[in-house]
Structure 1
Amino acid sequence: ESVRGKDVFVIQPTCAPANSNLMELLILTDALKRSSANSITAVVPYFGYARQDRKAAPRVPISAKLVANMMQTAGIDRVVTMDLHAGQIQGFFDVPVDNLYGSIVLIDYLKSKNLKNPIIASPDVGGVARARSFAKKLSLDLVIVDKRREEANKSEVMNVIGDVAGKDVILIDDMIDTAGTIVKAAGAFKQRGANSVRAFCTHAVLSGPAYERIGEGLLDQLVVTDTIPLRQECDRIKVISVAPLFGEVIRRVYHDESVNSLFN
């Protein structure tokens, strides 16, 4: 089918296998550009390589910037994604970037649970801003996990800042990878008398021992979106679809309507 003069939306997450998925996106974009498409919008629910957004050590790449350059060179005119690991990645692009928030669908599900005594938690200091935003929208209190290694060759100590006794704790993070931090935080909350611990994360990377750790039972439930397909079924994992949200955003972009008003 001809795409000449058409506004094309390419839906392609860059989750594992990340390199193959990225190349598919770039090659398809090149084909569309050479076929005289009017505009090409990359809809990337999960933006891979996002954790490499700065030089954290000598002689390492800034892969997020490299990928942004490659996407633009291929001919992408706009990017629609969700919960970038670092918001400043939007500045790596010289084209418009719509960074959507998974919280809009996660909050709706959380409200439907009708928890008796909920409290929002951040699994580490770095995620406080995200958790605070969640807590503000729900008018709930916030607790923080401060993990630190007191001595060399000793395991990390999980210090909980705030009272969780008798509370239904809701851990908030943008992604869950090996589940180590989340499960350790859940254990720390349970030791301090939490009634239940749930984690709400947009991107379910779930690599390595993640499924085994979740199955240990310290985490009562993991709620994620479908930006990344699950590798296997798990009774403790609830998947919320963000397809309707992306569909509405695509409609608004096509008709030149505001995207930001969706989240106000």
Structure 2
Amino acid sequence: MSQLNIDFKDTLPAGHLGIIPLESSCELGKKVNEYIVSWRKDRNSKYSENILFEDYKKDTYIIDAKCSRFGSGEAKGTINESIRGKDLYLIVDVTNYNITYKLCGHINRMSPDDHYQDLKRIIAAASGKARRVNVIMPFLYESRQHKRTSRESLDCALALQELKNMGVDNIITFDAHDPRVQNATPMSGFESIQPNYQFIKALFNSVDDLIVDSEHMMIISPDEGAMTRAVYYANVLGIDMGMFYKRRDYSRVVDGRNPIVAHEFLGASVEGKDVVIIDDMISSGESMLDTAKELKKRKARRVFVASTFGLFTNGFEAFDKAYEDGIISKVLTTNCIYQPPELLEKPYYVNVDLSKYIALLIDSLNHDHSISDLLDPGEKIHKLLQNYNNR
């Protein structure tokens, strides 16, 4: 994603830019900041004498902020420099389990609830001072609890309403489990962004012998919930798609869900084709690997797994074995949530870096510039595909 495709030279920023990456997104925040610093150093504007361009070019836009924790487990959010009049962008990874804190002498790993509370603490510390507060939450908090099927809580909707009531102007997330949850706050800014271009680019860069046509390649949706994603990829690449649906045993509940009895397939033959399984997240990975095994039984050539969020809650052993057994060839996930160092060393793993894309989103929004072109990269994907086929 080239920053030079958008011209900000004749646009005033909405306010002085400030970026607050919480500890959970520290590395991602640093990369995002480096991109924006580099771009703005090379940018000249006819409004450069305007007061809104004061501090436009800086060595860093990261605001010094932290969440301190007491021995009892309670905490407070502190912002250690002025943010008055700033256009703030808070970045948080609610899935980062690698951060710990002490509770009465015991070591606790931070849960999504802990990260969400820290986000609210920083928002509260900024209240009434910042010109605008924007939250970038790549993995939407409680997005898996987005609907009610029995007497249940609606956690994601409640969280969105809470952030709105705290004064958050915009919420930016990636590949929300169900973007219709934004209906909980219809008057607030909410964007669920699909990193389609970045995934296709990463796949093309890591595999140099793909033949992208309906005779040699296919997109696979592992369940009905991922259909929209799969249809988009199939359309922009001009290839066929297939879908699995899960037959479950609704008479039993195991680990909070009805166990899967079988995976049934709908679609054309996958025999001899490279297939790409598209989904929003890899949690335990059980469903994704079951889908890959079913595809290999149907004589698929190679299986590539692409998922925005690689949680790997049950570790990597099952994926290691699947790779060794030739069931999967590549696994692609993004760096917008925590990646364990051992994952980055896997021979089958492809890291899809979204830091430049997030930096461009922030830079655009800070200028009140439309991000419509960033949300629909169809033209860029067609150019990428043409270059790949003509390599």
Place the TM-score, normalised by the shorter chain, in its bin. Answer: over 0.9
Paired residue type of 1:158 = H
Report the CA distance between 1:155 and its aligned residue: 6.3
% same residue? 23
Shift of 1:48: 2.1
2:366 counterpart of 1:254: yes
CA distance in 1, matches of 2:249, 2:352: 38
- TM-score, reference length from structure 2: 0.63
Counterpart-to-counterpart distance in 2, 1:38 and 1:149: 50
RMSD (Å) for aligned C-alpha atoms: 1.9
User: Is the 2:224–2:244 contact (alpha carbons within 8 Å) kept by the matching residues of 1?
Assistant: yes
Cα gap change, 1:155/1:65 in structure 2, threshold over 3 Å: closer, same or farther?
closer
The secondary structure found in structure 2 opposite 1:257 is: coil
Which stretch has the larger CA shift, 228-237 or 7-16? 228-237
Instruction: Work out which of the residue numbers 281, 284, 298 in structure 2 matches 1:175.
Output: 281
Tell me, yes or no, if the aligned pair for 2:202 and 2:350 is still in contact at 8 Å.
Answer: no
Measured after TM superposition, the shift of residue 146 of structure 1 is: 2.5
Aligned-pair distance for 1:201?
Answer: 0.5
Task: Tell me the secondary structure at the aligned position of residue 142 of structure 1.
Answer: strand
Residue among 107, 115, 134 paired with 1:41:
134
The correspondence for 1:158, drawn from 252, 263, 280, is 263
**Residues 246 and 260 of structure 2 are in contact (CA less than 8 Å); yes or no, is this contact kept in structure 1?**
no
* CA apart distance, 1:2: 0.8
Work out whether residues 27 and 74 of structure 1, in 8 Å CA contact, stay in contact via their aligned partners in 2. Answer: no
Pairwise mapping of residues 1-264 of structure 1 onto structure 2 (< 5 A)? 1-16=81-96, 17-34=111-128, 36-58=129-151, 60-93=152-185, 94-112=187-205, 113-114=207-208, 115-116=210-211, 117-149=216-248, 156-161=261-266, 162-207=268-313, 209-217=314-322, 218-234=327-343, 235=346, 236-264=348-376
Pick closer, same or farther for the CA change 1:152–1:216 going to 2, 3 Å: farther
Q: Which structure 2 residue ranges, 5 or more long, are not aligned?
A: 1-80, 97-110, 253-258, 377-391
SS in 1 for 2:271: coil
Look up the match of 2:388. none
Larger Rg: 2
Partners in 2 of 1:181 and 1:188 — Cα distance? Answer: 11
- For structure 1, list consecutive stretches of 5 or more residues without a partner in the other structure: none
**Cα 1:155–1:203 shift into 2, 3 Å:** closer
Q: For 1:43-66, what per-residue CA distance to the aligned partner results, in whole angstroms no more than 9, with x for missing partners?
A: 1111120011110222x1010011
Residue by residue over 1:97-137, the C-alpha shift from the partner in whole angstroms, topping out at 9 and shown as x without a partner, is 12211212101122332413221001112221211111111
* Larger RCO: 1 or 2 (CA < 8 Å, sep 6+): 2
Quick one: distance in 2 between partners of 1:229 and 1:2?
A: 29
Total equivalences in the alignment: 261
Write the distance in 2 (CA, Å) between the matches of 1:157 and 1:242.
Answer: 35
CA gap of 1:19–1:155, structure 2 versus 1, over 3 A, is closer
CA distance in structure 1 between the aligned counterparts of 2:275 and 2:328, rounded to whole angstroms: 10
Deviation track 1:59-106 (CA, whole Å, cap 9, x = no partner) reads x10100111122122221111111111111222223111221121210
